[in-house]
Amino acid sequence: MRDLQWDGSINARDLGGLGSMRTGAIVRMEAPTRLSADGWAAAWAYGIRTIVDLRHVNEGPPDQVPRPAGMTVVQVPQDPATDTPFYKHWSQLDSLASPLYFPALLAEYPEVVVAAARAIANAAPGGVVIHCASGKDRTGLLSLALLTLAGADAQEIIADYLLTYERMKPRFDELGVRDQLTAVTEIVAAHGTTVQASLASTIDLLAMPAFLLNNGLCEKELHALRARLLTA
């Protein structure tokens, strides 16, 4: 089972088993701020030792309970700064909440994805959690990159991305937010595409490992990343 039952989280899942991704290497989830003491204990028992936070500094509420003392947090924001033309354009177009913006981010700001991959490659021994706010788009794009490196096929990568809509629906319902899959489907349809087609076009752009190497990851870091992530 890839789904992880960590008290306080509804969207934690292991990427292991997709392509050559090793179980226990990468867990994707929503922001872990609601994890209880038991939830953090479960994450620690699972082997998690590093949290890669893809949000901006001070984004979102604080944790409800302290994290384990031996767990390292690395902040690697995946959204460009709010005063950039990119952010202003896409925040108006889709609020950076659909896969429409993924190809543009990879073209204009590939270094942010590479920085996250570097943080994973250089993390201390143990499992790594990657998260943003809901674990959908910033986490989704990084997951696309990691799973493409792991040789997962497009259909299983897309299915994993779509799973977040289902998993996070109770949280969005609680906040009074309309169904996000419906909302995003409408956004991408207005631009003549579908969620699945938009994701597939992004995956096509992620030629691996060339994307990482051409955008700043060195061979030593690539070797470390592969050693951490892959079963073979």
User: What's the rounded Cα separation, in Å, for the pair 159 and 163?
Assistant: 6
**Mean local confidence (pLDDT), 103-123:** 98
pLDDT > 90 fraction of the chain, expressed in percent and rounded: 97
CA 199, CA 218: separation in Å to the nearest integer? 27
- Please determine, for residue 123, whether its predicted confidence score (pLDDT) is greater than 80: yes
The span from the CA of 175 to the CA of 55, in Å, is 20
pLDDT mean across residues, the chain: 96
Indicate if the pLDDT at residue 1 is higher than 90: no
What b/e readout covers 106-120, taking b as 16+ CB neighbours within 10 angstroms?
beebbebbbbbbbbb
154 with 200: CB under 8 angstroms? yes
How much is the average pLDDT of 146-156?
97
Summarised one tens digit per residue, pLDDT across range 194-224 is: 999 999 999 999 999 999 999 999 999 999 9
Domains present along the chain, CATH in parentheses: 13-229 (3.90.190.10)
Kindly indicate the confidence band of residue 232, based on its pLDDT and cuts at 50, 70 and 90.
confident
Digit-coded pLDDT (tens) for 5-15: 999 999 999 99
Query: What is the Cα–Cα distance from 62 to 60, expressed in whole angstroms?
Result: 7
Report the percentage of the chain scoring pLDDT > 70.
100
d(CA 116, CA 53): 9
Q: Would you say the pTM of this structure is higher than 0.75?
A: yes
**What's the pLDDT at 171?**
93
pLDDT single digits (tens) 13-69: 999 999 999 999 999 999 999 999 999 999 999 999 999 999 999 999 999 999 999
